[in-house]
Amino acid sequence: MKAADVRAKSHDELTTELLVLKKEAFNLRFQASSGQLENTARVRQVRRDIARIQTVLNATAAKGA
């Protein structure tokens, strides 16, 4: 997911996407610990997507305050 895509979404969409990505990150960590993880690059990708979304949410919150 690109930063421009994240900025184009609404606050509600971003919070929903953030929740989905956090659940996926949990599942990926669980798979990695049990040795069932096939795509190890996905862990990094999910972490960065979470960071992008949190950055945009924090920036919009700072603007509004």
pLDDT tens digits for the chain (65 residues)?
A: 889 999 999 999 999 999 999 999 999 999 999 999 999 999 999 999 999 999 999 999 998 86
Going along the chain from its start, the domains and CATH numbers come out as 3-64 (1.10.287.310)
pLDDT for the residue 65: 66
- pTM for the whole structure: 0.91
Structure tokens at 41: 């690059």
Helix (H) or strand (E) holding 65: none
